[in-house]
Amino acid sequence: MAVRQPSIRTTAPHPDLLPRLAAIVGARHVLTEPGDVGPHLVEWRGLFHGACAAVVRPGSTAEVAAVVAACSETGTAIVPQGGNTGLVGGQIPFDTAQIVLSLQRMDRVRTVDPAGNTITVEAGLTLLGVQQAADAADRLFPLSLASEGSCRIGGNIATNAGGTAVLAYGNARDLVLGLEVVLADGRVWDGLRSLRKDNTGYDLKNLFIGSEGTLGIVTAAVLKLFPKPREVETALVAVPDPMAALALMDRALARLGRSLTTFELMPRFGIDVVLRHGEGTRDPFANAHPWYVLMELSSGTEGTLRDVVEVILAEAIEAGDVIDAVIAESLDQRLDFWRLREVMSEVQSREGGSIKHDVAVPVAATPAFIAEASAAVMALVPGCRPLPFGHLGDGNIHFNVSQPLGMDKAAYLARWEEMNAVVHDITRRHGGSISAEHGIGILKRELLPGVKSEVEMDLMRTLKRTLDPKGLLNPGKVL
Ligand code: FAD
């Protein structure tokens, strides 16, 4: 079976809805024209095409609260949306009576506190915008994703986004100190605290983080900032296999601990695809190698890293764990190395159909997982081309599989669920997760009961009923 596009329900919205929303946010912020609404209804990879009554763009927390209250009173379902870069379809509506609540106009930095190392921002600020605001205060906001120019911090929080700096700084959940959330009935929970320690009862913010818009609308957040690194070393390293890559990581962690901020694995096939289709990309090595690691280290003190990195790489070459390595000599070269990794997601579509898996296994099990899953998918669809890449340091592999050359794309994509089942089985055998960082949304909703116990499912449904008794916040997603 291919990915199932949910059928569109063609229910009429409540007759009072659109005039009430226009009175709250202004008529020009209630979009109904197909040309305006269209970009909000298509998932980034084109997997899902939705429909809605309107896209509503409030400009403040008070407006969000009033919109949500009006929706509650009219029985209107709300699909919150940030940058629409989510990869499990959670941000797409499938009912002509629903509204998309776009947070994009709420993009202000409310306060920066360099002494306390915090920043308070609205949910619609792009992740890049948060990084830039931190940088302007001589601080680092470390969350980093290839989609950072488009995704919004509210979306990052709602999906508990991961990315390329989790190894040292954790995922979005670890970077949030406080939240402001509009609840399903329109009340505002002001939890914008900037405390590093606060054991006063249940940790409510963690309920909303990663809840994919099903429990409340995040309108603002207090985020942690960090000292800006004074020295960064970036190396592209050729390794014989993922096991050797892990040995290199072990060596780097033993010497440099949290200075190791990025450790990303890429197979040769991925580099080939990037070089074929990624504009301005080039191979820094003279020869092709089976696997590569993009490794980045940062330090708060200048002039401390380079020598250690060279020693680590020299020892790893001696041990046979590294074939060759290039350390970036300039900012341009560093950006070139990063580009190889960053365009790896988007260029895969140029090779035809690609069946995706965003899985995590215990870090030490990653090489076995990659070997077993590659063999299994090649047995299932002979000629398919596995492209396992991503966050090796977190045991999080994007196990994507490109179609066999010459195969009909639709016929290949029709095997999506069958291939998912094979890969997820292997993931489970290794004690892993079928969704490491992208969430459940609609894409993996049917799979959730298979990986959660009855007790967990029951607790999640109870929380959903308590926080959203009318079932109007992103219905049909996650649960
Ligand atoms: P959207 O797509 O708009 O929404 C995602 C979900 O959050 C939906 O369920 C939506 O209803 C909900 N939501 C959005 N805003 C709010 C809000 N304010 N309040 C409540 N709910 C809300 N993800 C990673 O984790 N790591 C990666 O490395 C990574 N790389 C990516 C690379 C590319 C090229 C692309 C296209 C995507 C990548 N992603 C990655 C996925 C995606 O960028 C993240 O999931 C991101 O956090 C989504 O943010 P968004 O603003 O686009 O959210």
Q: Which amino acid is at 48?
A: F
Ligand 1 contact via 476 beta carbon (within 6 Å): no
Cβ-based neighbours of 455, under 8 Å, separated by 6 or more: none
Q: Which amino acid is at 432?
A: G
Task: Supply the residue whose CA is at minimum distance from atom 1 of ligand 1.
Answer: 84
Ligand 1 contact via 129 beta carbon (within 6 Å): no
Task: Supply the residue whose CA is at minimum distance from atom 42 of ligand 1.
Answer: 86
What are 6's two structure tokens?
């949910």
Residue 44, SS3? coil
Give 117's DSSP letter. Answer: T
The rounded Å distance from CA 161 to ligand 1 centre is: 7
HSE-CB for 357 with a 13 A CA cutoff = 34
Ligand 1, from 44, 64, 67, 85: best to mutate by most atoms within 8 Å of Cβ?
85
- CA separation for the pair 308, 313 (Å, rounded): 9
The rounded Å distance from CA 155 to ligand 1 centre is: 5
Sign of torsion, CA 357 361 363 369? negative
Residue 53, SS3? coil
Nearest to 452 by CA among 435, 469, 437: 435
DSSP characters for 208-221? Answer: HTTSTTSS-EEEEE
Q: What is the pTM of this model?
A: 0.95
pLDDT at position 4 is 79
Ligand 1 contact via 47 beta carbon (within 6 Å): no
- CA separation for the pair 198, 88 (Å, rounded): 33
- CA separation for the pair 154, 160 (Å, rounded): 10
Q: What are phi and psi of 107, to 5 degrees?
A: -125, 35
Q: Which amino acid is at 110?
A: R
The rounded Å distance from CA 147 to ligand 1 centre is: 9
Describe the strand order of the beta sheet including 118-122 as a list of residue ranges.
Answer: 109-113, 118-122, 217-224, 176-182, 188-191
Q: Which atom of ligand 1 is nearest to the CA of 439?
A: 45
Ligand 1 contact via 478 beta carbon (within 6 Å): no
281 touches 413 (CB < 8 A)? no
pLDDT at position 356 is 95
Task: Supply the residue whose CA is at minimum distance from atom 49 of ligand 1.
Answer: 155
211 touches 80 (CB < 8 A)? no
- CA separation for the pair 126, 147 (Å, rounded): 10
309 touches 327 (CB < 8 A)? yes
CA dihedral 378, 285, 396, 347 (to 10 degrees): -70
* Average pLDDT per 10 consecutive residues for the chain, totaling 479 residues: 82 95 98 97 92 98 98 98 97 98 98 98 98 98 95 98 94 98 98 96 97 98 97 97 98 94 97 96 96 96 93 97 97 96 93 96 98 98 98 95 97 96 97 96 94 97 98 97
Ligand 1, from 87, 345, 357: best to mutate by most atoms within 8 Å of Cβ?
87
Ligand 1 contact via 154 beta carbon (within 6 Å): yes
Q: Which residues of 351-406 form beta strands (DSSP E)?
A: 354-355, 358-360, 385-391, 396-402
pLDDT at position 142 is 97
Nearest to 188 by CA among 219, 167, 215: 219
The rounded Å distance from CA 150 to ligand 1 centre is: 9
Note the pLDDT tens digit of each residue in 226-243: 999 999 999 999 999 999
